[in-house]
Amino acid sequence: MMIRKMRFIVPVLLIAAVSAQGGTVTLSFNQHSTQNMFQTRDAVAEQISAFSLSIDQDFSALSVLANLEYSAFRQTAGLGFFAADAGFDYLLPTGAKSAFYFAAGGGGTFYRQEYGAFSSLGANLLGAFKTYLAPSSILKLQWQGMYAVYKDSLFDFLSQIATLSIDKYFKTRTTFKADAEWGYKYFLHPFLPEPIEPLTEAVTTMAASNGMGTGTGSGSGQGWGGQRYQGGNGFIPRTSSEGGGAGIGHISLSLLAAQGIGDIVGLSVSAVRQWTVTGENPFLSIEEFYLVQNPSTDSFSWEGRQLNGRITMNLPWSVELKAGYTYSDKTYPGVESMSLEGVPLGLGRNDLRHLFEARLEKNFRRGSLFLAYSWVDNRSSDPLFVWKSHFIMCGFQWNLPVGRKGGIS
């Protein structure tokens, strides 16, 4: 099995490495351990090994990139995925203090049959402008558009995000930064057809016809995908006789204050407030897996607030320590809280989360080694999503010397 995989991976590596002459090649390996893979009250422990290879090649102001990634899950083997993406970016200076940045890319993520519904192909465009209003003040504008199609077309979407940020650095070594964001995500066809029979049976039928196995379609633990869909069990689509698409849009404001203390310590606090200004989530219930790009929830899904505090320290022997705490209060418009028996509770889903994170990183001659620990306490109006868990991650990154050594690259 492993040899079969290597026969595929090795030629890819060879082509990638040879084509990267003069560029940058980065290999990384991360090992993750979690007590709660699916982030529900029914904790499932998991060990995940993630490998990646990135290549970056500059051609004048144009830079080409490619990335390959493979993640293996020990318990939930069906979640193992292979991802590949490629793209280019272009830097266009407009004087010594300003520049435009453009990027385009595409890629795919491919899961095994059990989670085949998550497999996707996508493309993205990005345009940004950055300028120094003064040596101590920066203005940035950015727009990003994305399009993705999934094996299960419920998740197909178009999205765009525009951001504006401005900051100011003071002699007291304090930086203030303000961000404003507008985002809109349009699910192209997120609804199942209206059931003729009772809802739960119809969901079961449709899920099965989508190759997702059988399930009860409730929050009872059987879930949308049913028995062949290991873990999770929180996702429930809506039905509609009209079909069509559904969009959700938000605006958000964030403020950040950062303070340098001495030469080795950095402190920052930030606050984000996000409002859903149009539409709602098209799904009745959503879920969020660790380390998996879950298509039913992302930065568009919620409104509420988030507070963050962080400390960064440069320690002796090229060791860096980062630690932070994040409190979030998120409501998911359109998503219902349900009892463990799958009965709607008549209120929207709201999650309060406390997240502690710490990361220790040691830099070596050609790479880095890190150890990270996180602890999450998630309280939710939906009892399925009341959980606490630890996450441990360690890994290394190795930069291969295929670039030129001169000042240029």
Partner 1 sequence: MSTKFALIPILAALVAGPAAGQTAGHFYDVDKEVKIEGIVRQVSLEPRYKGTAPFLVLSVEDPRDAKRYSIEVSPSWFFNQDIHGGERVTVVGSLTGGPGEAPTVIAREVRWRGETITLRDKRGFPSWQGGPQRKRGIRRFGSF
Give the Cα separation of 327 and 62 in Å (integer).
Answer: 40
Q: Which is nearer to partner 1, 253 or 265 (CB)?
A: 265
The distance of closest approach from Cβ of residue 308 to partner 1 in the complex, given in angstroms and rounded to an integer, is: 10
Helix (H/G/I), strand (E/B), else coil: 202: helix
Q: Counting contacts by CB under 8 A, is residue 409 touching partner 1?
A: yes
Q: Counting contacts by CB under 8 A, is residue 272 touching partner 1?
A: no
Which of 290, 300, 332, 385 is in the footprint of partner 1 by CB under 8 A? Answer: 290
Q: Which is nearer to partner 1, 208 or 358 (CB)?
A: 358
Q: Counting contacts by CB under 8 A, is residue 6 touching partner 1?
A: yes
Q: Which stretch binds partner 1 (CB under 8 A): 154-162, 166-174, 194-202, 277-285?
A: 166-174
For the window 333-362, what string marks contact with partner 1 as x by the rule CB under 8 A?
----------------------x-xxx---
Residue 194 C-beta-side C-alpha neighbours within 13 Å: 6
Question: Are the C-beta atoms of 393 and 30 separated by less than 8 Å?
Answer: yes
Give the Cα separation of 121 and 85 in Å (integer).
Answer: 9
Question: Are the C-beta atoms of 162 and 182 separated by less than 8 Å?
Answer: yes
296 has which bridge partners? none
Q: Counting contacts by CB under 8 A, is residue 166 touching partner 1?
A: no
For the window 15-34, what string marks contact with partner 1 as x by the rule CB under 8 A?
--xx-xxx-xxx-----x--
The distance of closest approach from Cβ of residue 88 to partner 1 in the complex, given in angstroms and rounded to an integer, is: 9
Question: Are the C-beta atoms of 283 and 294 separated by less than 8 Å?
Answer: no
Cβ neighbours of residue 116 under 8 Å, at least 6 residues apart? 151, 152, 211
Can you read off the two tokens belonging to residue 85?
A: 């993406």
Which of 68, 248, 292, 338 is in the footprint of partner 1 by CB under 8 A? Answer: 292
Q: Of residues 81-100, which lie at the interface with partner 1 (CB under 8 A)?
A: 87, 89, 91, 93, 95-99
Q: Counting contacts by CB under 8 A, is residue 278 touching partner 1?
A: no
Count the Cβ atoms, other than its own, within 10 Å of residue 388.
Answer: 14
Question: Are the C-beta atoms of 25 and 16 separated by less than 8 Å?
Answer: yes
Q: Which is nearer to partner 1, 4 or 242 (CB)?
A: 4
H or E segment at 5? Answer: helix 2-19
Give the per-residue SS3 of 69-111.
EEEEECCCHHHCEEEEEEEEEEEEECCCCEEEEEEEEEEEEEE
Q: Counting contacts by CB under 8 A, is residue 309 touching partner 1?
A: no
Pairing state between β 265-279 and 303-315: antiparallel
Can you read off the two tokens belonging to residue 105?
A: 């890319």
Q: Of residues 196-235, which lie at the interface with partner 1 (CB under 8 A)?
A: none
The distance of closest approach from Cβ of residue 206 to partner 1 in the complex, given in angstroms and rounded to an integer, is: 28
Q: Of residues 107-136, which lie at the interface with partner 1 (CB under 8 A)?
A: 124, 126, 128, 130, 132, 134-136
Q: Of residues 357-386, which lie at the interface with partner 1 (CB under 8 A)?
A: 357-359, 363, 365-368, 372-374, 376
Which of 37, 38, 46, 54 is in the footprint of partner 1 by CB under 8 A? Answer: 54
Q: Which stretch binds partner 1 (CB under 8 A): 1-9, 193-201, 232-240, 272-280?
A: 1-9
208: which DSSP letter?
H
Residue 230, CA distances (Å) to 15, 68, 345 in order: 36, 25, 25
